[in-house]
Every structure is written in structure tokens, then in C-alpha cells.
Amino acid sequence: MTLLRLIETTPGRYSLLLDAGTTPVDALVEELGHEPNGYFWRGVAEVLVSTEAPTLEGRFAYDPEGGMFCAYGTDRGALHELEALLNVVAADGGRMRRLITDAEASGFEFDD
């Protein structure tokens, strides 16, 4: 299942996009006290990068909005790796539950 899309916005510049509110885990996210908006998904991406893919740190930037998650930059490979990580979490309720629980237990605050 591909919930995100990686597009080339201008030659050599890429954006990874997710329409907030369109994932199979949205109801679970709300049940756990969060709003599955673009800012929440930025938090998910930050947690995934810091805990599972530290080599991605600093290789792209974030520009979320209420209705959309966006990561962007010139490193297509890094954005593609982030896309793969986010697709797994966005489609797997158990995985999302663990991510939120573990992140909050370590003091991470989602900005949703």
C-alpha cells in the first residue's frame, strides 16, 4: 500500500507528500489522543529518523500543514527511504501504537 507520493517539483528538487486523514491508522491515532494532521506526521517522521534511520538526519527538511505532511529536498534517495518507513507505520496499527507509546515514554511531544 502506497499512501505517500514522491514528486519532482522542479528539476533536482523533490517533495514527499501525504494527505492527512487518509491513512488506515487515523482512527487509532485519534484514539491515542492525537490528530492525524500534517504536523503529527512530521513528528512520526522525526521519531522514525531518530530511532530507526539516523543516517537520514539533515538530508531533507519538513514543511507540514494541517491537511498535508511534506518533506522536501534534493536527496531523492533519502526521501524515498523516509517514504518506505512512513508507509509501514501508516498501514500498521500495531506499529503506530508502539511508535506513539515509545515516543511519548521517552518524552517526545507530537505537535498536533
The residue ranges of every structural domain in the chain are 5-105
Query: Which among 64, 66, 20 is positioned nearest to 42, based on CA atoms?
Result: 64
The whole-model pTM stands at: 0.94
Report how far residue 6's alpha carbon sits from residue 101's, in angstroms, rounded to the nearest whole number.
Answer: 28
The H-or-E segment that residue 61 falls in is strand 61-62
Checking if the pLDDT of 107 tops 70, the result is yes
Mean per-residue pLDDT, 81-96: 95
**What would the pLDDT profile of 27-83 be if each residue is shown by its tens digit?**
999 999 999 999 999 999 999 999 999 999 999 999 999 999 999 999 999 999 999
Confidence (pLDDT) at 1: 56
Confidence (pLDDT) at 92: 95
Q: What's the first-to-final CA gap in the chain, in angstroms?
A: 25
Does 1.10.4100 match the CATH number of domain 5-105?
A: no
Confidence (pLDDT) at 3: 86
